Chains A and B, each alone.
Chain A
Amino acid sequence: MDMIDYPDGEQFSPGHVACAGCAEALSLRVILNTLGADAIAVVPPSCTAVICGGYPLSSVSIPVQHTTLESAAASASGVKRSLNALGKTNTTVVCLAGDGGTYDIGLQALSSAAERNEDILYVCFDNEGYMNTGGQKSSSTPLNAITGSTPAGKLSRKKNLVEILAAHRIPYIATCSPAHLSDMSAKIKKAASIRGTKVIMVIIPCLPGWGVADDAAVKTARMAVDSGVFPLYEVEDGVDYTMTIDTRNQSVNAYLKQQKRYRNLSDKNISDIQADVDKEWEYLLGRARK
């Protein structure tokens, strides 16, 4: 059997208020324990903010600074520079943000930090919408997905943030899934060892937002990877692409069918999505082969 391997040093505590079965809480557990005690987190408004806190209680052992939705990367840059000034150069500064705070509202700050190649680790929990405020669409929401603000399904495609970040030529970008915990831990470890701006995108199937069962977040994330909807890969220095898993073993159909946000898809919609996923997959493989 394939065994999962990551260290658990109790950096994340029970009693947090994530929904039952939340893959973001699960991913936080892996990330915080991989980073260990010598780290400071910067968190904009997001599910993560709720999960870490709930004043006056904290579920996270390391210090967490709550900041505004626009400024996660800027705040983290400041925290890192302050630590450097104090001579604490080994401390990892990690942003834990949602896709709203990354794709949309925090993009300017992130782009600026990336342009300056600030020495921060930026983790985006991508649940493809503003799920913490009732499920509105973000620019990460995929085509045809129903959200509170796209009741007939979103009309535009999901923004490709990895390519935007790659264009900054930052040292490391990787995608992760809560169905691949050993891989997630390994990528966090690798990112933390690199100087400069590192970004990790984690797919988070949101139970209420996507309309999947309480026990199905991991399964859904696995299907996203296995169907090629959310490929696992790394980009180094903005140009070197490496596929973590370079095979697909299922069509998008099963992945889409088990999510209520895709309940209105026509057969044509599904075949269009499949064609798009196929095209993106081939493009990515092409990049990785160069």
Chain B
Amino acid sequence: MDRQPSPLWTNSSSLLRKTGTWRSAKPEYILSPSPCLGACPVNGRIAEWIGLLMEGDVKGAWLTLVDNNPFPAIAGRICHHPCETVCNRQQMDEAVGICSLERHVGDVAMREGWSFPVPEKEGEKSVAVIGGGPAGLSAAYQLRRLGIKVNLLEQQPQLGGLLRYGIPAYRLDKKIVDYEIRRIIDMGVDVELSAEVDDQHALQKLHDEFDAVYIATGASQSKALPGLDYSQSWVIDSAEFLSATNAGEPCSLGSDLVVIGGGSAAIDVARTARRLGKSVKLLSLEPEHLLPAQKTEVDEAIEEGIEFVTAAQMQSVSKDGGSLILECIRINFNQGEERGKFTINPVPGSEFQLRTDAIIPSIGQDADTSRWQSLLDSDGTVVKTDDCWQTSTQGIFAGGDVASMDRFVTQAVGMGKQAAAEIGYYLEQLLSGSPVMNANETEFSEINTNYFPAAARNKQADLEVDDRLQNFSEVQQPLAEDHALAEASRCFSCGSCIYCDNCYLYCPDMAITKLKHGYEVKSDYCKGCGLCVAECPTGSVVMLEEGQGTA
């Protein structure tokens, strides 16, 4: 039908009207760091890999994880998870169980047999890494990814350092350690076991032979408790006790033990001794709430029947027939401003006695810095390094416990990663960078919690106490597949776009275009109302005044 348009009919689309001219601010999509990323010792892109896990892409999650940490199954068991302490979700209900999810991803990777690629192109440069613990292995891994040849020298008969010889099997099964180390070695790392670099000449030789050297020998010398006679048969070194037990040859002791110390290692010693059928007391200067060990470790130790004698100090030991008598006193413990700078005051008249068969002091470990004294400056406790983890000798780098007082396993992994990047830079083989973060850390106020239904945390089960004490089986049980998925979906994905389309669907001006992976603002029509920002669940879009770029 041929019809003349009436003058009363509209004849064009409103698209001709560019309402974008009304605007004074415009939305900008950002990738801003989540608080967990800032807290993570390896700077893992946690929001990103949990996002992939949520979508069911476990492989993608693993690939993102191992970009920064080659040990997800290990870290998922023993990391002190500072990420969870800063998790925005705890301001709504409970923090996301990040560590349990990391373990889940790590375990799936082992089950599926995912491996790291051997570098496509082999570079000219080679680096000697001294020490096959978490820092050394992490550095070796990152260096191999750059195509740099790595010679890894380990003093012990097996690789792993603290992971193998320090941490008991009930926290970290040695099969996991074997697997995740093997995966790194298979990238083409040359390993020399039982190899000692015991003086500056040996180090100098490596320095001459290789383009760079990385020292990650850890801190393996137990700190001595003043006034205690270590030559007595009833005093046992804690590191020796743990490594002997981990090697399957526990030291012979009486049936009653006192462990002295309040850190993770002391708890490890105490719980290991419980599993050997001993009756164990743990004597610490700190009161229970200030113990440096993690709270879950303390709780589990108490469940296992370890008696905590806290805020107390041993003053002397005497022999009484077959057993020992420890003269102790209650103390007031003052934490002090800095870690390790505490003060103590004995409470007069509070003396008491403990009766036992043996003592295992476990008050920390020192690094051996003296053997390379003439080549490397140290401050007496650790090897001195600059901002780039380089020691006083050019081309020799150091990290982990030998160069830092940050003594958690994942901190060592993070230091290894950083040093590898610096060594790569030093050898002019630059790293391919992670996505650039272009904004401040995402705060809880930027999360629109209306899109996240309340959901309690999916907790990992522990082995029953009676079963635990029978052997060295892992205490902490994995999350079931469906629980892991439910836990992942509790993540706010702070600062990372999750492509939920809220910005697109809430726009009253149809001014957002959906791209294949992301969104674009139509400048012609966006009026700058900010609804997209207000209704973004994750805080990954912000309003910027016109003409203002992202920082």
Contact = CB atoms under 8 A, between A and B. Distances in A.
Contact of A4 (B13, B22, B502, B525): B502
Given A1-B500, A3-B500, A215-B530, A14 B535 contact: no
A260 B14 CA distance: 32
B199 interface: no
A225 B525 CA distance: 30
Contact of B12 (A8, A18, A58, A222): A58
Q: Is the interface of B mostly helix, strand, loop or mixed?
A: loop
A80 to B, nearest CB: 21
Given A24-B508, A26-B508, 9 more contacts: A1-B452, A4-B505, A13-B14, A13-B15, A21-B531, A25-B508, A26-B507, A57-B14, A218-B506
24 contacts: A1-B489, A1-B500, A2-B451, A4-B505, A13-B14, A14-B524, A15-B15, A16-B17, A16-B19, A17-B19, A20-B527, A21-B508, A22-B508, A25-B509, A26-B507, A54-B17, A56-B9, A58-B10, A58-B14, A59-B14, A179-B450, A214-B529, A217-B531, A222-B450
A97 interface: no
Contacts of B511: 14
B498 to A, nearest CB: 7
B209 interface: no
B18 interface: yes
Interface in B13-41: 13-19, 22-23
A265 interface: no
B33 to A, nearest CB: 20
A56 B12 contact: yes
B495 interface: no
Given A56-B10, A215-B531, A181 B17 contact: no
B498 A14 contact: no
Considering the complex of A and B, which 10 residue pairs feature the smallest CB-CB distances, nearest first?
A21-B529, A215-B530, A20-B527, A15-B14, A14-B525, A25-B508, A59-B14, A15-B17, A20-B529, A58-B10
A59 B13 CA distance: 6
Interface string B59-83: 0000000000000000000000000
Interface string B521-551: 0101101111101110100000000000000
Interface residues of B, number: 41
A29 interface: yes
A12 interface: yes
Interface in A99-123: none
Interface residues of A, number: 39
A12 B507 CA distance: 12
A125 to B, nearest CB: 13
Interface of A: 1-4, 6, 8, 10, 12-26, 29, 53-59, 179, 181, 214-219, 222
Contact of A54 (B11, B14, B15, B527): B14
Given A21-B508, A25-B509, A58-B10, A15 B19 contact: yes
B510 interface: yes
Nearest to B504: A8
A15 B16 contact: yes
B406 interface: no
Nearest to B18: A15
Contact of B529 (A4, A8, A13, A215): A215
B501 interface: yes
B453 interface: yes
A244 to B, nearest CB: 16
Interface of B: 9-19, 22-23, 450-453, 489, 498, 500-502, 505-511, 522, 524-525, 527-531, 533-535, 537
Most chain B CB within 10 A, of A1, A22, A58, is at A1
Contacts of A4: 500-502, 505-506
B15 A14 contact: yes
A241 to B, nearest CB: 25
A26 B13 contact: no
B496 to A, nearest CB: 12
B529 A14 contact: no
Given A29-B508, A56-B12, A17 B17 contact: yes
Contacts of B16: 15, 57
A14 B14 contact: yes
Contact of A23 (B18, B508, B537): B508
A53 to B, nearest CB: 6
Given A217-B531, A218-B531, A18 B508 contact: yes
A222 B449 CA distance: 12
A242 B10 CA distance: 41
Given A1-B498, A15-B14, A29 B531 contact: no
Contacts of A19: 527
A12 B535 CA distance: 21
Contacts of A20: 22-23, 509, 527-529
A247 to B, nearest CB: 12
Contacts of A23: 508
Given A1-B489, A13-B510, A56-B10, A219 B534 contact: yes
Contacts of A29: 508, 510
Nearest to A182: B505
Contacts of B522: 14
Contacts of B530: 21, 214-215
B176 to A, nearest CB: 32
A1 B537 contact: yes
A144 B88 CA distance: 39
A21 B527 CA distance: 8
